[in-house]
Amino acid sequence: MRNEISIGLLGLGTVGSGVATILQQHQEDLRHKLGVQVAIKKVLIKDTTKERLSPLDSSIFTTDIEEVINDPSLDIIVEVMGGMKGAKQAIENALRAGKQVVTANKDVMAEHGHELLKLADEKKCDLFYEASVAGGIPIIRTLEDGLASDRIAGLMGIVNGTTNFILTKMKQENMSYEEALVKATELGFAEADPSSDVDGWDAARKMVILSSLAFSTEVRLEDVLVRGMKEIQAGDLQIAEGFGYTIKMVGSSNKDEDGIEVAVEPILLPNLHPLASVNNEFNAVYIHGEAVGETMLYGPGAGSLPTATSVVSDIIAACRNLLLEVNGKRLHAAQHDLVIKEDKSCFAKYLHRLLVNDQVGVLTQLTAIYSKHGASLQSVMQHPAENEDQAELVLLTHRISREQHLKVIKDIKSMASVISHYRIEGESAT
Ligand SMILES: NC(=O)C1=CN([C@@H]2O[C@H](COP(=O)(O)OP(=O)(O)OC[C@H]3O[C@@H](n4cnc5c(N)ncnc54)[C@H](OP(=O)(O)O)[C@@H]3O)[C@@H](O)[C@H]2O)C=CC1
Ligand SMILES: N[C@@H](CC=O)C(=O)O
Ligand code: NA
């Protein structure tokens, strides 16, 4: 009968130090929940000169990863070092060594998750990754367990804390993009390379993970349409507001008889949409199940303790399985072949913001382009431009296919500048 479970921690940064803090502060509760002591016995770091606030004794620190992975006394390896190649290798080696693995690494899970989960099944080991999507929100467990009985038709969410924090600060506090990004980095929300946040790839990786789980298939990163924050131009937030919409970086994934459509992009949400009021580093995921209907999970999407909460919950799940001797019994094989929808089958309304020469006949030329592609318009608004020979036009379409939208944009570029364009979700109240 065990009386202790030992952990090897790979990384002691924002998330790793949160894990150490929670395991130390909640020791009594964990002992009560599990009946055994859970203790971190080895920690991998890179920089031995760094000052650390962690409660751990530096005598257990090492810079040699093999010393952690190959230590036979360790039961669970927790990978919170980040990166791709080294982290993937560490997870693989730990599973091959028969250890339970917990990771917060969406980069690795999005690109190699299917292969690693298969390896975990073969080795009869747990591989848990709750923190990899939406930090402190138990979204993976909800899809795997809570909604296991349902068929998911679609999900939509704010799954990147950094970009949501930046957009909130720009809108509510008039902060510049650069200032807001520096703040998000200082607070530990941003990735080591924050271009992954602002260009949409972090959210895209999370959508790969969520879509694969929701639809029991193997979605790949190249299947995701990705548009980053740089698509949002000065003045867009105010224009959207004028129409009763809020701009948010949203990941969406929907399934119908034509296949699956996965995207990450800045979109226009009606101000009354539940996701429109998700601010700062908070995340939310809105799930549409065929039987359950609509559910939404909301919580902190990034940060030390919120993310560590998910990591420690995964550690607890692995500990319970260890005590019951039932690790690696989940069977992760995908049920369905992947079919990605074509652009002609993906429908939405769009907002197009253009800069045109303010002369007779421009509007006729423009509307001819929309007519040529069978795209009907809901409204056209003209605003003065900085240069008095030009005008800004904001056009809202009725529902059209993404193929029509892209063809219209391509043709418009031959006669005007396209300042920005957005997909619109739902109807605003104005
Ligand atoms: N920050 C967040 O809010 C969230 C992060 N995540 C994910 O969690 C993971 C960790 O993120 P975070 O804690 O923010 O990252 P940090 O950069 O804060 O921490 C990384 C830690 O890993 C150590 N490390 C990195 N590379 C090596 C290496 N080659 N050898 C030894 N040690 C190494 C670093 O050592 P040293 O301290 O010596 O530099 C550091 O302690 C990432 O995969 C991230 O995407 C997931 C959800 C939220
Ligand atoms: N950089 C990520 C961290 C959590 O996954 C984010 O901002 O959401
Ligand atoms: Na989560």
Write down the pLDDT at residue 54.
87
From the CA of 81, how far away is ligand 1's center (Å)? 4
Tokens 């349902």, residue? 150
Of the residues 99, 123, 169, 206, only one is catalytic, namely 206
Q: Within 13-158, where are the H helices?
A: 14-25, 27-34, 65-69, 85-96, 106-123, 139-141
Taking alpha carbons only, the member of 192, 216, 246 closest to residue 425 is 246
**Is 13's C-beta closer than 6 angstroms to any atom of ligand 1?**
yes
Reduced to 3 states, what is the DSSP secondary structure of residue 328?
coil
> What pLDDT, on the 0 to 100 scale, is given for residue 208?
98
φ/ψ of 150, rounded to 5, equals -105, 170
Distance 56 CA to ligand 3 centre (A): 25
Torsion of CA 85, 54, 303, 65, to 10 degrees: 10
Q: What's the mean per-residue pLDDT of the chain? A: 96
For 32-87, the pLDDT digits (tens) are 999 999 999 999 999 999 999 888 999 999 999 999 999 999 999 999 999 999 99
For the cut 80, the answer to whether the pLDDT of residue 428 exceeds it is: no
Which atom of ligand 2 is nearest to 191's Cα?
A: 1
> Measured from the CA of 303, which atom of ligand 1 is nearest?
3
Ramachandran category for residue 125: left, alpha or beta (phi over 0 → left; psi -120 to 50 → alpha): beta
Q: How many CA atoms lie within 13 A of 70 on its CB side?
A: 5
Q: Please tell me if the CB atom of residue 307 comes closer than 6 angstroms to any atom of ligand 1.
A: yes
Domains of the chain: 4-135+304-324 (3.40.50.720), 139-300 (3.30.360.10), 343-424 (3.30.70.260)
Confidence of residue 427 (pLDDT cuts 50, 70, 90): confident
Q: How remote is the CA of residue 145 from the centroid of ligand 3, in Å?
A: 13
Q: What is the pLDDT of residues 100-134, one digit of tens each?
A: 999 999 999 999 999 999 999 999 999 999 999 99
pLDDT above 70 covers what percent of the chain? 100
Residue by residue, DSSP assigns 9-28 as: EE--SHHHHHHHHHHHHTHH
Q: What is the pTM of this model?
A: 0.96
d(Cα 227, Cα 247) in Å, to the nearest integer? 13
Cα 360 to chain center, whole Å? 46
Biggest CA-to-CA distance, the chain: 86
- Read off φ and ψ for residue 146, nearest 5 degrees: -55, -40
409 within 8 A of 418, measured Cβ to Cβ? yes
**What's the confidence (pLDDT) of residue 129?**
98
Q: Would you say 89 and 112 are in contact if contact means Cβ atoms under 8 Å apart?
A: no
> What is d(CA 302, CA 18) in angstroms, rounded to the nearest whole number?
12
pLDDT of residue 204: 98
pLDDT category, 426, cuts 50, 70, 90? confident
Instruction: Decide: residue 196, CB within 10 A, 0-12 exposed, 13-18 middle, 19+ buried.
Output: buried
Instruction: Write out pLDDT tens, residues 300-349.
Output: 999 999 999 999 999 999 999 999 999 998 878 889 988 999 999 999 99
- Find, among 245, 132, 229, the residue nearest to 177 by Cα: 229
Best residue for ligand 2 mutational test, from 15, 80, 129, 160 (most atoms within 8 Å of Cβ): 160
Candidate of 130, 137, 202, 229 to mutate for ligand 2, largest count of ligand atoms within 8 Å of Cβ: 202
Residue 172 has pLDDT above 80, yes or no: yes
165-191 exposure pattern, b = at least 16 Cβ within 10 A, e = fewer: bbbbbbbeeebebeebbebbeebbbbb
Count CB-CB contacts under 10 A for residue 6: 16
**Ligand 1 contact via 14 beta carbon (within 6 Å):** yes
166's enclosing H/E stretch is helix 161-172
pLDDT on residue 115: 96
Contact 369, 258 (CB under 8 A): no
Q: Residues 209, 109: contact at Cβ < 8 Å?
A: yes
Mean pLDDT across 168-189: 96
Is 15 one of the annotated binding-site residues? yes
60, 66, 80, 103: residue to mutate for ligand 1 pocket, most atoms within 8 A of CB: 80
Burial 219-240 (b: 16+ CB within 10 A, else e): beeebbbbbbbebbeeebbebb
- Looking at residue 333, its pLDDT comes to 84
Ligand 1 neighbourhood includes 113 CB (under 6 angstroms): no
Compute the distance between CA of residue 391 and CA of residue 375 in angstroms, rounded to an integer. Answer: 22
Question: What does the pLDDT average to over 367-384?
Answer: 95
> Hey, CA dihedral for 138, 143, 147, 153, is it positive or negative?
positive
Active site annotation includes 206: yes
- Distance between CA atoms of 255 and 333, rounded to whole angstroms? 19
Ligand 2: centre distance to CA 303 (Å): 8
The tokens of 240 are what?
């959207």
Q: What is the pLDDT of residues 219-242, one digit of tens each?
A: 999 999 999 999 999 999 999 999
- Whether 11 shows a pLDDT value over 80: the answer reads yes
Q: What is the DSSP letter of 144?
A: I
Report the pLDDT value the prediction gives residue 363, as an integer from 0 to 100: 93
Ligand 2 pocket, Cβ-based, cut-off 6 angstroms: 135, 160-162, 189-191, 197, 202, 301-302
Q: How confident is the model at residue 365 (pLDDT cuts 50, 70, 90)?
A: very high
Average pLDDT value for residue range 364-371: 96
328 marked ligand binding residue: no
Q: Is the predicted pLDDT of residue 430 greater than 80, yes or no?
A: no
